[in-house]
Amino acid sequence: MKALILNSGLGSRMGALTKEHPKCMTEIAPGETILSRQLRLLAAAGVREAVITTGYYDGVLQDYARSLGLPLELTFVNNPRYRETNYIYSIYCARELLQDDDLILMHGDLVFEGRVLDRVLKSPTSCMTVSSTLPLPEKDFKAVVRNGFVRKVGIEFFDEAMAAQALYRLKREDWRRWLEKIAVFCESGRTGVYAENALNELEGAANIAALDVKDALCAEIDNAEDLAMVTERLKETENKTVYCCFSTDIIHGGHIAIIRKAQMLGRLIIGVLSDEAVSSFKRFPLVPASERRIMFENIAGVSRVVEQNSLSYRENLLKLKPDYVVHGDDWCTGFQKPIRDEVIEVLASYGGELVEFPYATDPKYKEIQARQRADLAMPDLRRGRLKRLLAMKGLVTAMEAHDGLTGLVVENTVVHQEGGARQFDAMWLSSLCDSTAKGKPDIELVDMTSRFRTIDDIMEVTTKPIIFDGDTGGLTEHFVYTVRSLERMGVSMVIIEDKTGLKKNSLFGTEVRQTQDSIEHFCEKIRAGKKAQRTGEFMICARIESLILEQGMADALDRAFAFTEAGADAIMIHSRKKDPSEICEFIEKFREKDTTTPIVLVPTSFNSVTEEEWKKRGANIIIYANQLMRAAVPAIQRAAESILTHHRAEECDAMLMPFKEIIRLIPEE
């Protein structure tokens, strides 16, 4: 798409204003001329080429247009007979450049709002701007409109007419027809008429729809009076506010394009989505909200940056009451639709308007996103994220993963609820599930080399932080090496339990022989582990088995304080009772003395309490330790039984994921 701007004329009705430069260089706002505004709007809308016809003060105009430094390829075509011809002849002079593209045609003295140009550009057919609300002008252009299409354009038509402005979007075929007629006119000497006289001879064959812009600013400046009116209208536009919210942590050309378009509508306020809101629906932000704010504050023309604390715009819209909200059209469907619906509802409550632009789907932007995800998977960027999540959210959830596939499920499962989104924050690498997946008992039989292999499989396909179930931690002399290895791999936390000897799963409780470690010995293990780690990011969590082994609350608390004193970064308290009261009591008593050390819970048995309630009580990490594995086993057993029962696979098909889906479940990179 090319733009053609007609700027050859003398602008004689402007008096002294056009004494030293062409009319298009008349200032309409501080530092803004008719031409600079037109070109800026075109560039912001993504138009890359403009042909400008010149005549009067040709050199001044060319120098000025180039000095604007806009991302537009400018071509100037001089009409040497500009004094005695009309712009029909200027178009004729430029005809060679205008053959093979759709065209945006405008007079050089036209001032319009960004949203007018946006509608013109989006028009599926050729179109011309008209207004159904403006009175018919005595001397200016009017369009005769029938069935929504422009039949004739001129100053002499009053019947079936609407006020019209010379701003056209012309499809290549339609424009060619008009251009051919223009050539016929010029070659037969009719160069003193409007180009529209040639259009009128086509009797509607140029298929130009009438695009009603109603009261939006779209006006020619012919004299000082017009100039005063347009300047006033632009001031009003500048007083409008525009709101646009971003979750991105890098700014690319697509974002800048939206920002430039939004700025055309008024003073731009940018909402930066909080870290918590970003990580709820997308991924953990690589750059925190405080930094992202600075990034946007430093973009020219951004008047203010505010934080948006949730995916819902409601709070900020009611506070800021912007005249416009600008967004890409990608949110018309999918999980963002309820958010969009709410924006429309809130805007309607005070008379605001939603403006949507086509969403940039450039493959290079997709590539940037993929690279960012890849960065998040790297050990050094992954390790510290658990601490950051704890600081950011107060309560973090972790779901069990025991191989690449379950890792992907934990990574990618998102539930959209009440205009928000929820996903797991982290992954739990359970000893029970890692052993069970190998058909082995949970007794520290699966050795560290194998457990590290599982970590690697999961890490290869995910980005979320990992909490590793370190069982007893083994011998202190071995534990220090485990800490170093886990830390190097990018694991965020290891949890070790205060048991010794042959470890059995805690959920057996006292049904099997299990020995609790002494406080002194376990403290020594914690101290050695803390000393071994290299970064400040890695966390060692001490898990207390006193309630599991029925040693009482006092013992549990004594241990908790001793282990924290020894350097544990977090405390896990476990129970196998359905009733959560002993856990609640522990949290309450621990928090009386220690308000900061994170408390970790594995509510497999005491599963009735919601995450929100745990948070209120003072817990910080909730681990769902085995639910994915427990969901899978009965499902595969049922499929196996069905095949054995029916001697074929047909009956079990209904319980299965379709074959077509399983082969596409894992996308190729």
User: Site residues (CB under 6 A) for ligand SPV?
Assistant: 430-432, 442, 469, 505-507, 602, 604, 625-626
Q: Which stretch binds Mg ion (CB under 5 A): 173-181, 267-275, 461-469, 531-539?
A: 461-469
Q: Which stretch binds Mg ion (CB under 5 A): 132-140, 318-326, 335-343, 427-435?
A: 427-435
Q: How far is the CB of 443 from ligand SPV (least distance, A)?
A: 11
Exposed, middle or buried, 212 (CB in 10 Å: 0-12/13-18/19+)?
A: middle
- Smaller CB distance to Mg ion: residue 157 or 468? 468
Q: How far is the CB of 500 from ligand SPV (least distance, A)?
A: 16
- Smaller CB distance to Mg ion: residue 150 or 467? 467
**# of chain residues touching Mg ion (CB under 5 A):** 3
Q: How far is the CB of 543 from ligand SPV (least distance, A)?
A: 8
What sign has the CA pseudo-torsion 467, 468, 469, 471? negative
Q: How far is the CB of 399 from ligand SPV (least distance, A)?
A: 11
Question: Which partner in ligand SPV, Mg ion, none is near 604 (CB below 5 to 8 A by kind)?
Answer: ligand SPV
Question: Which partner in Mg ion, ligand SPV, none is near 174 (CB below 5 to 8 A by kind)?
Answer: none
- Smaller CB distance to ligand SPV: residue 406 or 604? 604
Amino acid letter, 229: M
CB atoms within 10 A of CB 398: 28
- Smaller CB distance to Mg ion: residue 339 or 621? 621
List the structure tokens of 200.
Answer: 């009128």
How far is the first Cα of the chain from the last one, in angstroms, to the nearest whole number?
35
- Smaller CB distance to ligand SPV: residue 368 or 437? 437
| Range 39-58, binding Mg ion (CB under 5 A) | none
Question: Which partner in ligand SPV, Mg ion, none is near 411 (CB below 5 to 8 A by kind)?
Answer: none
Report the C-alpha gap between 471 and 451 in whole angstroms.
Answer: 11
Q: Which residues, 6+ apart, have CB-to-CB distance to 493 below 8 Å?
A: 386, 465, 466, 467, 468, 538, 539, 540, 541, 569, 570
Q: Is 442 a catalytic residue?
A: yes
DSSP characters over 473-541:
--SHHHHHHHHHHHHHHT--EEEEESEESS---GGGGGGS--EEPPHHHHHHHHHHHHHH--SSS-EEE
Report the C-alpha gap between 661 and 669 in whole angstroms.
Answer: 17
Q: How far is the CB of 408 from ligand SPV (least distance, A)?
A: 19
Site for Mg ion contains 431 (CB under 5 A): yes
Question: Which partner in Mg ion, ligand SPV, none is near 79 (CB below 5 to 8 A by kind)?
Answer: none
Residue keyed to tokens 């993504």: 46
Exposed, middle or buried, 501 (CB in 10 Å: 0-12/13-18/19+)?
A: exposed
From the list 58, 323, 434, 442, the catalytic residue is: 442
Question: Which partner in ligand SPV, Mg ion, none is near 626 (CB below 5 to 8 A by kind)?
Answer: ligand SPV
- Smaller CB distance to Mg ion: residue 469 or 498? 469
Print the SS3 string covering 371-433. HHHHHHHCHHHHHCHHHHHHHHHCCEEEEECCCHHHHHHHHHCCEEECCEEECCCEEEECHHH
Q: How far is the CB of 430 from ligand SPV (least distance, A)?
A: 3
SS3 33: strand
- Smaller CB distance to ligand SPV: residue 386 or 467? 467
- Identify the H or E element spanning 143: strand 142-146
In degrees to the nearest 10, what's the CA dihedral of 331, 336, 341, 346?
A: -100
Give the CB-nearest residue to ligand SPV: 430
Exposed, middle or buried, 426 (CB in 10 Å: 0-12/13-18/19+)?
A: buried
Quick one: which of 118, 275, 469, 487 contacts Mg ion (CB under 5 A)? 469
Q: Which stretch binds Mg ion (CB under 5 A): 101-109, 382-390, 432-440, 641-649?
A: 432-440
Q: How far is the CB of 636 from ligand SPV (least distance, A)?
A: 20
- Indicate which residues carry an active-site annotation: 442
